[in-house]
A and B are shown apart, each in its own frame.
Chain A
Amino acid sequence: MQLKIQYYALMREQAGRSEETLETSSATPADLYGELSTRYRFTLTREQLKVAVNAEFSDWSRRLTAGDAVVFIPPVAGG
């Protein structure tokens, strides 16, 4: 299935892109992070991140469906 991935901050720098459309067999955000970590050598572990699907916070074990937009959220630092 195809997913849209958007990258911010440290994740954007490490992925070398702001977004991409990806053909993947990863079933959950957890699987997807494993796949992309291998590809981009992300330095943050999954435990250090949150994940959003379709612009809402999500569980790592949620079943992804075609067309979902996924964002991995590194530790925040607003204010």
Chain B
Amino acid sequence: MMRFRFTQTAIDTIEARRELLDLGAGGYVSFEGWVRDHNEGQEVTRLEYEAFQELAVKEGERIVADALRRFPVKHALCIHRIGSLALSDMAVWVGVSSAHRGEAFDACRFIIDEVKHRVPIWKKEHYRSGDSGWVNCERCAAPPGHTHGHGHGHDHELEHHDEPAASHS
């Protein structure tokens, strides 16, 4: 258990990888999400992650369990950072071991995609302009016809679009 968890400090990928070892595994695939210096035309200087941990760990665990059911892999684990992160810090790590590489890539992709869409984690971007905003929240919160203090163009997509994050994608 605990195949999805949070950490307030840097993710230890060497230690995490150890949990995936299996004599029947021929390899493992990992994904690291990093804090990026820009998002939608804004220069990002740092990020804050916050989670509703009590529910998030349950939902995260369900996602990893789903992946293990869907794909014939050996082990899977996801660790998400919370708190204040600097540029290039690792925000999330997913690792999957399996007999063959194909299903490990598929399961890893499945887990990161589902985590981004389903787990109650929020990300606040701080911009060089001094402005800040909750990703996926501020834009949908604005009433139609509003004006922004910061001039990035945008659509009024509600949530879960696929290019939002100041980390990876």
Interface bracket on B:
35 or more
Which residues in A have their C-beta under 8 angstroms from that of B136? 74-77
A75 touches B159 (CB 8 A): yes
- B97 at interface, CB cutoff 8 A: no
Q: Would you call A56 and B58 a contact (CB within 8 A)?
A: yes
Structural contact, B55 and A77, CB atoms closer than 8 A: no
B6 to chain A, nearest CB (A): 10
Interface string of B34-58 (1 = CB under 8 A from A): 0000000000000001111011001
Closest A residue to B160 using CB positions: A75
| CB pair B123 A10 closer than 8 Å | no
Residue A61 interfacial (CB < 8 Å): no
B76-116: CB near A (< 8 Å → 1, else 0) gives: 00001000000000011000000000000000000010011
Query: Is A16 an interface residue when CB atoms closer than 8 A count as contact?
Result: no
A8 touches B165 (CB 8 A): no
The answer for the CA separation of A61 and B168 in the assembled complex, in Å, is: 37
**Nearest A residue to B49 by beta-carbon distance?**
A78
- Whether the pair A78, B140 counts as a contact (CB closer than 8 A) is no
* A32 at interface, CB cutoff 8 A: no
Complex CA gap A10/B139 in Å reads 12
* B141 to A, closest residue via Cβ: A43
7 A–B contacts from the bound complex (CB under 8 Å): A10-B122, A10-B134, A48-B141, A77-B134, A77-B136, A79-B116, A79-B169
